[in-house]
Structure 1
Amino acid sequence: MPAGEHEFVVVANRLPVDITIEDDGSLSWERSPGGLVTALAPLMQKNGGGWVGWSGKVGFEHEPFDAEGMRLCPVPLSEGEIARYYEGFSNATLWPLYHDVIVPPEFHRAWWNTYTSVNRRFATAAAEAVAPGGTVWVHDYQLQLVPSVLRMLRPDVKIGFFNHIPFPPVEIFTQLPWRHQVVEGLLGADLVGFQRPGDASNFLRAVRRLTDLQVRGPQVTVPGRWSRPDRAVRAQAFPISIDSTAFEELARRPDVLERAKQIRVELGSPDVLLLGVDRLDYTKGIRHRLKAFGELLEDGQLRVPEACMVQVASPSRERVEQYKTLRDEVEVTVGRINGDYGALGRAAVHYLHHSYPATEMAALYRAADVMLVTSLRDGMNLVAKEYVAARSDLGGALVLSEFTGAADELTHALTINPHDIDGTKATVMRAVNMDRKESRRRMRGLRRRVMQHDVQRWADDFLGYLAMSVPPPPDLRPPETPRLGTQPPATDENRPDPTDEQPTDEQPTDEQPTSKETT
């Protein structure tokens, strides 16, 4: 297969822009929000990178085009392929299976066949885009077969894969009828990244159970074929993060701080404002959170209007039946709580089923006294990190499920088992009644982690490890072109600590505005 021209190619389910087709057939686009685009866009713009993905529009076919300083390579998907590959196999088979079978996964051969064919199409597009000896970074559970197909098409390139959701224990994973094919697909990569060390361990256990390959520590040895040498595949945790500095600066803007005050006034100036922010997904534990809050009202530990909750539940996969059912259940629960405990003009739960811009979310984070993250299973949960980044005033408290990837890092949060309703209620009340000194100490520790380990560090670390994998043959390296990811992974010793500038008890905070906040 002829090689492309891009030293660095990203392969993801979606392109990094939202495309609009004008009446005259021309294209316009806006950059999509999200940490992945934020982390990789500068690197791709600097090196003329390519991005392979679906446009988000049914049947959209277009030649590669330039946008946001990148070459975008659209992969067309038909209505049937979206139904079987994305809504079917990705989100009704893999998603529930990888999230501890919270709901039963469905196994359909037609879905698997479409998943296979679509993955081949993505791999072919990547193979046509990447330059000799280049680097390809494949993302997430929708594209787990791409590494092995790409390896066959382009054995000269380095391939990384990152799984943004959990990888299940082998006892659950082996329920998948096509478990061998998925493992073989991932082993096409040189580096397989996960959110948590436990996810990497689960994958390595699956390799031991389902193959006869040698596994030593985090490394799998894949025997060579024909004239190709043996290959080493490394599985390791690389916890993803957010653009911490940018989000902190957004939350410190005067208009955002003013909006935060306005939100509290609009809610009746409660003494305690609890906040939940999620996609409307059964993995997020929204029903458990509402149950705990309802019982706190029933017990009299919290009362309306002195306390209220805001629950933002942005729409998600609304054509999937399980998500339709979840929405009905959540809305019935909210209605019951408000009917039992609300007052005239003072709802107990303010339920918002739509998405908000980043400025409004930052204002909500600044307004909230307690952030509730009650996921039943979550690869990371970046909402928790956004809340921490927004709280440069060292105010607020984070209640965090132990079943999130974020719990491994945010050890100063108050952790809960969301299935334990009594334990969750006790922890929420501990957060509500926490004294200011402990609250500030905990938030300072949380911010130290979030501000230091940002999304750029995540990308640098992953690409640094990928660069240390076996290099391509020397004759495939363009001698004048600097290689991507040649810097070693950042360490705590050689990276400056962004928290050196963070407020302390002796430094000004938002209660005592600094020049940065007032300009």
Structure 2
Amino acid sequence: MQSAGYGLVVVSNRLPFDGTVGPDGEPSWVRSPGGLVTALEPIMQEADGAWLGWCGAADAVIEPFDVDNMRLVPVPLSESEVADYYEGFANDSLWPLYHDVIASPAFHRLWWESYRRVNRRFAEAAAEQAAQGATVWVHDYQLQLVPAMLRELRPDLRIGFFLHIPFPPLELFAQLPWRRQVVEGLLGADLIGFQRAGDAGNFVRVVRRLTELTTRGQVITIPGKHGHSPRHVRAAAFPISIDSKKFDALARTPEVQQRAKDIRTELGDPKVLMLGVDRLDYTKGIRHRLKAFGELLDDGRLTVPETTLIQVASPSRENVGAYQQLRDDVDMAVGRINGEHSNFGQPAVHYMHHAYPPEEMAALYLAADVMLVTALRDGMNLVAKEYVAARSDDRGTLVLSEFTGAADELTGAILVNPHDIAGLKDAITYAAHLDPREARKRMRRLRRRVLTNDVALWSETFLAVLTAVPARNTHG
């Protein structure tokens, strides 16, 4: 077995950098947004790490390269694999299934075969890059077969897996035609991390029902083969976070503070500015939020221009039918509310269908009196944590869906069931008129949690538990 290679290998569907080709035809790489690279970069540099993932362009074959002292190893995907493995099985089968079947999942054998084939390619690439006895950390629902495939190729490795989205209850997961293969794929890991204790519990229940394996609490025992000792797999919650100190510092800069003031001025200085920030995804509850806000204006409980809502919805998976329908629905809802309630030059809803850089997001968070997070199901929801990290003034109120992973941690938020439109309307009204002293008390509690439990602590905690797993011999 090879002795060269990297001591830590991270495997995710996408590399943490987006490639662009300059006028001279030479590729250059820009760090893509997201906290994962922020969390893992210092650890990877210290551990001599490599990161495997797709570069984001179909049919691109790119040699491994170095950026910011990290080794990046592109794993190629063909155009048909992007359609079948990624847009198909990952995002039209697994994503809706794992998000409470808010939209109906589609199951196609062709998609499954592509998923299996791509997972094998990722596993082989990881096996090639990992040093003897290395730690490999696999991420998310696109790569759930990789742990078992990798263990088969390299029994000497410590393998961790983290699921960034929810894991569904048995009654929903059981719909998946390839349910047993997915469970067996995940059980190739030594440690399986989830966002919430409930997700880890769901997984253990699925293991108990679909396999003959013994479980005790969080630990699943896999019998050893050929006289070898059994292997133990732990399924536990490791709630992810953000680089909260960096976001806090960004929101304290004079430029961002001034921009926040300018935003309010540009909107006509409303008494209450509400904000929603989401990917345009049916799991985010944007339709429910707009329905509640529109009805509050209809009822006269909120009025324009005293109250206004900014809804930022960045484009997402525009090739998938359910997302195209959602965009049409949101456009229509915003048009109706503005048609019925806007004043000249003062719309009730400012709807932005594009993404913004972190500086503008920090200014929006700082400008908003009420943050509305109404997801119908969300693994964590980092927008809620970004809002809290930005509020160094201890002002602002967070209305938070109880169906987000963040609801377990952010106990100073006003929790809501977004399916209960009447209850959601009451919560929004309560937040709009919350006593400033009560709001400050809630925000201080939220900030203590978010600033202490940052993304660096998350990655360190997961890797500490994983590296405590005893080293195994090459026969596994």
Q: Does 1:293 align with 2:315?
A: no
| Equivalent residue number for residue 157 of structure 2 | 157
Cα displacement (A) at 1:295: 0.6
CA distance in 1, matches of 2:470, 2:80: 40
| Equivalent residue number for residue 77 of structure 2 | 77
| Equivalent residue number for residue 326 of structure 1 | 326
Cα displacement (A) at 1:436: 1.1
SS at match of 2:62: coil
CA distance in 1, matches of 2:121, 2:81: 12
| Equivalent residue number for residue 61 of structure 1 | 61
CA distance in 1, matches of 2:287, 2:444: 30
- Counterparts of residues 100-499 of structure 1 (less than 5 Å): 100-226=100-226, 228-473=228-473
CA distance in 2, matches of 1:289, 1:468: 44
Any conservation in 1 of the 2:170–2:202 contact (CA below 8 Å)? yes
CA distance in 2, matches of 1:473, 1:115: 30
Any conservation in 1 of the 2:2–2:131 contact (CA below 8 Å)? no
Counterpart amino acid of residue 289 in structure 2: R
SS at match of 1:66: strand
Number of aligned pairs? Answer: 476
CA distance in 2, matches of 1:207, 1:100: 19
Cα displacement (A) at 1:65: 1.2
CA distance in 1, matches of 2:93, 2:8: 31
| Equivalent residue number for residue 96 of structure 2 | 96
SS at match of 2:175: coil
Pairwise CA RMSD: 1.3
Cα displacement (A) at 1:46: 2.0
Percent of aligned positions that are identical:
65
TM-score by length of 2: 0.98
- Greater Cα offset, 117-126 or 43-52: 43-52
Counterpart amino acid of residue 196 in structure 1: R
CA distance in 1, matches of 2:23, 2:399: 48
Any conservation in 1 of the 2:6–2:48 contact (CA below 8 Å)? yes
Cα displacement (A) at 1:228: 3.8
Any conservation in 1 of the 2:155–2:475 contact (CA below 8 Å)? no
SS at match of 2:440: helix
Counterpart amino acid of residue 184 in structure 1: E
Any conservation in 2 of the 1:3–1:128 contact (CA below 8 Å)? no
Any conservation in 1 of the 2:170–2:205 contact (CA below 8 Å)? yes
Cα displacement (A) at 1:23: 4.9
TM-score by length of 1: 0.90
- Greater Cα offset, 353-362 or 16-25: 16-25
Any conservation in 2 of the 1:3–1:129 contact (CA below 8 Å)? no
Counterpart amino acid of residue 383 in structure 2: V
Cα displacement (A) at 1:227: 5.1
Cα displacement (A) at 1:224: 1.3
Shift of the 160–70 alpha-carbon distance from structure 1 to 2, 3 Å rule, reads same
SS at match of 1:180: helix
Cα displacement (A) at 1:33: 1.8
SS at match of 2:212: coil
SS at match of 1:365: helix
CA distance in 2, matches of 1:139, 1:37: 12
Counterpart amino acid of residue 461 in structure 2: D
SS at match of 1:234: strand
CA distance in 1, matches of 2:277, 2:167: 24
Q: Does 1:45 align with 2:35?
A: no
Cα displacement (A) at 1:27: 2.1
CA distance in 2, matches of 1:303, 1:24: 55
Cα displacement (A) at 1:467: 1.4
SS at match of 1:57: coil
CA distance in 1, matches of 2:287, 2:23: 44
- Greater Cα offset, 150-159 or 3-12: 3-12
CA distance in 1, matches of 2:170, 2:140: 19
Counterpart amino acid of residue 441 in structure 2: R
Deviations 1:48-73 (A, max 9, x none): 21001000011111221111211111
Any conservation in 2 of the 1:256–1:360 contact (CA below 8 Å)? yes
Cα displacement (A) at 1:379: 0.2
Deviations 1:266-316 (A, max 9, x none): 111100100000000000000000000001100101111111000000000
Counterpart amino acid of residue 402 in structure 1: E
Counterpart amino acid of residue 284 in structure 1: K
Deviations 1:238-265 (A, max 9, x none): 0000000000000010000000000001
SS at match of 1:443: helix
Structure 1: where are the runs of 5+ without partners?
A: 477-519
CA distance in 1, matches of 2:233, 2:224: 12
